Amino acid sequence: MSISINHVSYVYDSETELKWKALDDINVAITKFKMTAIIGKTGCGKTTLMQHLNALLKPTSGEVIIDDFVLTKTSKHHTLKPLRKKVGLVFQFSESQLFEETVFKDIAFGPKNYGATDEETAIKVHQAMQLVGLDESYIHRSCFQLSGGEKRRVAIAGILALDPEILILDEPTAGLDPQGSIEMMQLLLNLKNHHNKTIIVVTHDNDLVYTYFDDVILMDQGKVIAQNNVLDFFEDNQAVVLPQVIQFKQLLLKKGVHISKYARTIKEVLEEIKNDRIR
Ligand SMILES: Nc1ncnc2c1ncn2[C@@H]1O[C@H](COP(=O)(O)OP(=O)(O)O)[C@@H](O)[C@H]1O
Ligand SMILES: [Mg+2]
């Protein structure tokens, strides 16, 4: 079972003179049960690509294969429901899409829509709130009284309440402070490590990518130009904005201190230095 994108191109406004090829013959395989980052400059096609993974967009040509589901230009609307259930998509600034009066109602919207009973819905809402770290005291609060970070958690809980196997998030740390970003990463790591979720994240933050992710896909002008595991990716792609930890390791190297590629946080770098001293 796998996720693969084969020769996918996507043209916006294909019927008009404005037509614009946002994806250009993309070929990429994404490993399940890992955390994969999609990075690249603004406008390179990251959001367009992720919207293909739950059929919000259908490829102009090529195919998206997710387990036994094959999405092509001709896929019929009524066949998409199983895919939409399997793949949960969290939009950028998802908190702006909350619309129900209370946290409970907002998270309950999805399961109800999929036909869950009141009892099943209540269980799903509680489970989803737990997964995003919102305690019971939030349940009847108004979404509009929450902080930005809390609202974003409610929006993610709304998707998790549908129990997707694959969770895709577009810039989930945009606008969060550093502590909020770390908490978001820990939330996603927990979903991967303890709840068997496959996590795919569009992000601009290479520091977070280096510390928390398994794999990286680099896009440029509608194409995938590199894909690798995080450690090898940043060794091979020195042209991207390097994570601060790597910059620190390069400074240390100039001073004659070699740190292995496995140290992915400042703490791990310092531990290697300490262990070397002891040895
Ligand atoms: N709805 C749309 N209509 C027309 N062009 C679009 C639309 N959405 C995105 N594009 C264009 O497609 C390209 C890729 O956009 P997008 O996937 O949003 O990139 P990214 O998420 O990497 O910033 C950009 O050139 C963008 O202007
Ligand atoms: Mg985008």
What CATH number should be reported for the domain holding residue 35? 3.40.50.300
**Least confident range of 4-8, 98-102, 108-112:** 98-102
For residue 17, what pLDDT band results from cuts at 50, 70 and 90? confident
Could you identify the atom of ligand 1 that is nearest to the CA of residue 44?
22
Instruction: Give pLDDT, residue 213.
Output: 98
- Indicate whether 9 pLDDT > 80: yes
Is the domain of 177 the same as that of 72?
A: yes
d(CA 42, CA 70): 28
User: Cα(39) to centroid of ligand 1, in Å?
Assistant: 14
Q: How far apart are the C-alpha atoms of 165 and 109, rounded to whole Å? A: 19
Do residues 168 and 262 share a domain?
A: no
Write the CA distances from 239 to 156, 204, 236, 243, integer angstroms. 33, 15, 9, 11
Query: Of 47, 56, 203, which is best to mutate to test ligand 1, by the most ligand atoms within 8 angstroms of its C-beta?
Result: 47
- Whether residue 55 sits in one domain with residue 114: yes
230 with 265, same domain? no
145 shares a domain with 90: yes
The answer on 226 and 249 residing in a single domain is: no
How many domains does the chain contain in total?
2
User: Mutate which of 11, 12, 26, 171 to test ligand 1's pocket (most atoms within 8 Å of Cβ)?
Assistant: 12
pLDDT in tens, 103-130: 999 999 999 988 999 999 999 999 999 9
Average pLDDT over residues 264-274: 94
Shared-domain flag, residues 116 and 252: no
Query: Is the domain of 168 the same as that of 247?
Result: no
Q: Is the same domain home to 182 and 248?
A: no
Mean pLDDT score across all residues of the chain = 93
Q: Are 30 and 164 in the same domain?
A: yes
Q: Give pLDDT, residue 276.
A: 79
Q: Residue 99: its pLDDT value, please?
A: 82
Mean pLDDT of 151-165: 95
Residues 19-64 pLDDT 10s: 889 999 999 999 999 999 999 999 999 999 999 999 999 999 999 9
CA dihedral 142, 143, 147, 148 (to 10 degrees): -170
- Residue range of the domain that includes 99: 3-238
User: Which whole number is the average pLDDT over 179-205?
Assistant: 96
Q: From the CB of 203, is ligand 1 less than 6 Å away?
A: no
Query: What percentage of the chain reaches a pLDDT higher than 70?
Result: 99
Cβ atoms of residues 233 and 210 within 8 Å: no
Q: Are residues 169 and 183 in the same domain?
A: yes
- What does the pLDDT read at residue 279? 61
Does the pLDDT of residue 101 top 90, yes or no? no
Record the pTM: 0.95
Burial of 267 (0-12, 13-18, 19+ CB in 10 A): exposed
Q: Is 111 in the pocket of ligand 1 (CB under 6 A)?
A: no
Q: Which two tokens stand for residue 205?
A: 């933050």
What was the pLDDT predicted at 94? Answer: 87
Residues 59 and 171 in one domain: yes
What pLDDT was estimated at residue 238?
Answer: 80
